[in-house]
Protein backbone atom coordinates (compact mmCIF):
# COMPACT_ATOMS: atom_id res chain seq x y z
CA UNK A 1 0.00 0.00 0.00
CA UNK A 2 1.35 3.33 -0.99
CA UNK A 3 0.52 6.51 0.91
CA UNK A 4 0.39 9.80 -0.87
CA UNK A 5 2.10 12.70 0.85
CA UNK A 6 1.21 16.19 -0.22
CA UNK A 7 3.90 18.42 -1.62
CA UNK A 8 3.45 20.83 1.30
CA UNK A 9 3.94 18.07 3.88
CA UNK A 10 7.01 16.77 2.02
CA UNK A 11 8.45 20.29 1.83
CA UNK A 12 7.88 20.83 5.57
CA UNK A 13 9.51 17.49 6.38
CA UNK A 14 12.47 18.35 4.15
CA UNK A 15 12.87 21.77 5.76
CA UNK A 16 12.60 20.25 9.23
CA UNK A 17 15.26 17.66 8.40
CA UNK A 18 17.50 20.36 6.93
CA UNK A 19 17.14 22.56 10.02
CA UNK A 20 17.86 19.57 12.27
CA UNK A 21 21.05 18.77 10.30
CA UNK A 22 22.24 22.39 10.50
CA UNK A 23 21.48 22.59 14.24
CA UNK A 24 23.24 19.27 14.89
CA UNK A 25 26.34 20.39 12.97
CA UNK A 26 26.40 23.74 14.81
CA UNK A 27 26.07 21.96 18.18
CA UNK A 28 28.90 19.55 17.30
CA UNK A 29 31.14 22.49 16.31
CA UNK A 30 30.29 24.27 19.57
CA UNK A 31 31.03 21.16 21.64
CA UNK A 32 34.33 20.58 19.78
CA UNK A 33 35.24 24.27 20.21
CA UNK A 34 34.49 24.12 23.94
CA UNK A 35 36.50 20.90 24.27
CA UNK A 36 39.48 22.48 22.47
CA UNK A 37 39.25 25.58 24.69
CA UNK A 38 39.13 23.37 27.78
CA UNK A 39 42.22 21.41 26.67
CA UNK A 40 44.16 24.58 25.78
CA UNK A 41 43.31 26.09 29.17
CA UNK A 42 45.10 23.19 30.89
CA UNK A 43 48.36 24.05 29.08
CA UNK A 44 48.12 27.84 28.99
CA UNK A 45 50.90 29.78 30.68
CA UNK A 46 54.67 30.01 31.05
CA UNK A 47 56.84 26.91 31.09
CA UNK A 48 60.47 26.17 31.89
CA UNK A 49 61.82 23.12 30.05
CA UNK A 50 64.88 20.89 29.91
CA UNK A 51 65.55 19.58 26.41
CA UNK A 52 67.70 16.72 25.19
CA UNK A 53 68.18 14.63 22.11
CA UNK A 54 70.56 11.69 22.09
CA UNK A 55 71.27 11.91 18.36
CA UNK A 56 71.82 14.65 15.82
CA UNK A 57 74.36 15.45 13.16
CA UNK A 58 76.40 17.10 15.95
CA UNK A 59 75.99 14.37 18.56
CA UNK A 60 73.89 14.67 21.71
CA UNK A 61 72.09 17.98 22.29
CA UNK A 62 70.97 19.49 25.59
CA UNK A 63 69.32 22.76 26.39
CA UNK A 64 67.01 24.88 28.49
CA UNK A 65 64.02 26.72 27.15
CA UNK A 66 61.30 29.08 28.25
CA UNK A 67 58.02 28.94 26.38
CA UNK A 68 54.61 30.53 26.63
CA UNK A 69 51.33 29.04 25.41
CA UNK A 70 48.37 31.43 25.16
CA UNK A 71 44.64 30.63 25.22
CA UNK A 72 44.53 30.24 21.41
CA UNK A 73 47.45 27.77 21.35
CA UNK A 74 50.02 30.29 20.08
CA UNK A 75 53.53 29.42 21.27
CA UNK A 76 56.59 31.66 21.61
CA UNK A 77 59.83 30.83 23.29
CA UNK A 78 63.60 30.90 23.44
CA UNK A 79 66.22 28.31 24.22
CA UNK A 80 69.92 27.88 24.89
CA UNK A 81 71.31 24.70 23.33
CA UNK A 82 74.67 22.96 23.60
CA UNK A 83 75.92 20.48 21.00
CA UNK A 84 78.73 18.15 22.05
CA UNK A 85 80.69 17.16 18.92
CA UNK A 86 81.96 19.68 18.00
CA UNK A 87 81.08 21.86 20.98
CA UNK A 88 78.64 24.54 19.83
CA UNK A 89 76.48 26.80 21.99
CA UNK A 90 73.40 28.19 20.25
CA UNK A 91 70.68 30.68 21.13
CA UNK A 92 67.34 30.15 19.42
CA UNK A 93 63.80 31.45 19.36
CA UNK A 94 60.71 29.63 18.17
CA UNK A 95 57.07 30.36 17.46
CA UNK A 96 54.02 28.63 16.05
CA UNK A 97 50.71 27.19 17.07
CA UNK A 98 49.52 24.09 18.89
CA UNK A 99 46.03 22.63 18.52
CA UNK A 100 44.09 20.57 21.03
CA UNK A 101 43.78 16.91 20.03
CA UNK A 102 40.89 14.54 20.83
CA UNK A 103 43.08 12.64 23.31
CA UNK A 104 43.83 15.78 25.39
CA UNK A 105 47.33 16.42 24.00
CA UNK A 106 48.53 19.40 21.99
CA UNK A 107 50.16 19.07 18.58
CA UNK A 108 51.37 21.48 15.95
CA UNK A 109 54.29 22.92 14.06
CA UNK A 110 56.77 25.53 15.27
CA UNK A 111 59.53 27.41 13.44
CA UNK A 112 62.97 27.40 15.06
CA UNK A 113 65.10 30.48 14.38
CA UNK A 114 68.79 30.30 15.30
CA UNK A 115 69.90 33.70 16.62
CA UNK A 116 73.48 32.69 17.39
CA UNK A 117 75.58 31.47 15.64
CA UNK A 118 74.27 33.48 12.67
CA UNK A 119 73.63 32.15 9.18
CA UNK A 120 71.64 29.02 10.00
CA UNK A 121 68.29 28.87 8.15
CA UNK A 122 64.98 28.63 10.03
CA UNK A 123 63.77 25.10 10.64
CA UNK A 124 60.12 24.00 10.90
CA UNK A 125 59.50 21.14 13.32
CA UNK A 126 56.56 19.16 14.62
CA UNK A 127 55.77 19.01 18.31
CA UNK A 128 53.34 17.05 20.45
CA UNK A 129 52.83 17.72 24.16
CA UNK A 130 51.19 15.69 26.90
CA UNK A 131 50.10 17.14 30.22
CA UNK A 132 51.33 15.49 33.41
CA UNK A 133 50.48 16.20 37.06
CA UNK A 134 47.18 18.08 36.87
CA UNK A 135 46.79 20.73 39.53
CA UNK A 136 43.33 22.27 39.66
CA UNK A 137 42.23 23.06 36.12
CA UNK A 138 45.80 23.15 34.73
CA UNK A 139 48.80 20.92 34.27
CA UNK A 140 51.80 21.49 36.52
CA UNK A 141 54.11 19.50 34.21
CA UNK A 142 54.18 18.46 30.57
CA UNK A 143 56.33 16.34 28.29
CA UNK A 144 56.85 17.12 24.64
CA UNK A 145 58.45 15.46 21.64
CA UNK A 146 60.06 17.63 18.97
CA UNK A 147 60.53 16.03 15.56
CA UNK A 148 63.12 17.74 13.35
CA UNK A 149 63.33 16.51 9.72
CA UNK A 150 66.88 16.13 8.38
CA UNK A 151 68.11 16.63 4.80
CA UNK A 152 68.82 12.90 4.42
CA UNK A 153 65.19 12.04 5.26
CA UNK A 154 65.91 10.96 8.82
CA UNK A 155 64.44 12.69 11.86
CA UNK A 156 65.96 13.94 15.07
CA UNK A 157 63.66 13.51 18.06
CA UNK A 158 63.97 15.85 21.03
CA UNK A 159 62.45 15.20 24.44
CA UNK A 160 61.28 18.08 26.64
CA UNK A 161 60.44 17.92 30.34
CA UNK A 162 58.60 21.08 31.36
CA UNK A 163 57.26 22.62 34.57
CA UNK A 164 54.74 25.43 34.87
CA UNK A 165 56.45 28.61 36.07
For 42-82, what is each residue's pLDDT tens digit?
A: 999 999 999 988 876 667 889 999 999 999 999 999 999 99
3-state secondary structure of 13: helix
Model confidence at 148: pLDDT above 50: yes
Contact assessment for residue 145 and residue 127, using Cβ atoms and an 8 Å cutoff:
yes
Model confidence at 152: pLDDT above 90: no
CA distance readout (Å), 164 to 10, 47, 82, 116, 145: 59, 5, 23, 27, 17
Once rounded to an integer, what is the mean pLDDT over residues 83-112? 92
Once rounded to an integer, what is the mean pLDDT over residues 88-109? 95
Q: What is the pLDDT of residue 8?
A: 52
CA distance readout (Å), 10 to 4, 6, 15, 68: 10, 6, 9, 55
- What fold, for 43-164? Lipocalin (2.40.128)
Percent of the chain whose predicted confidence (pLDDT) is above 70: 77
Of residues 103 and 151, more confidence is placed in 103
Once rounded to an integer, what is the mean pLDDT over residues 73-100? 92
Amino acid sequence: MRTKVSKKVAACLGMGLGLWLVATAALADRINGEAATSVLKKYRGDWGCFFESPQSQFGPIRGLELLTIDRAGNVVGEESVVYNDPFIAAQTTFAGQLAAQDNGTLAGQLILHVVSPPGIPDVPFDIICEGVSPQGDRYNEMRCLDVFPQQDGSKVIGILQCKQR
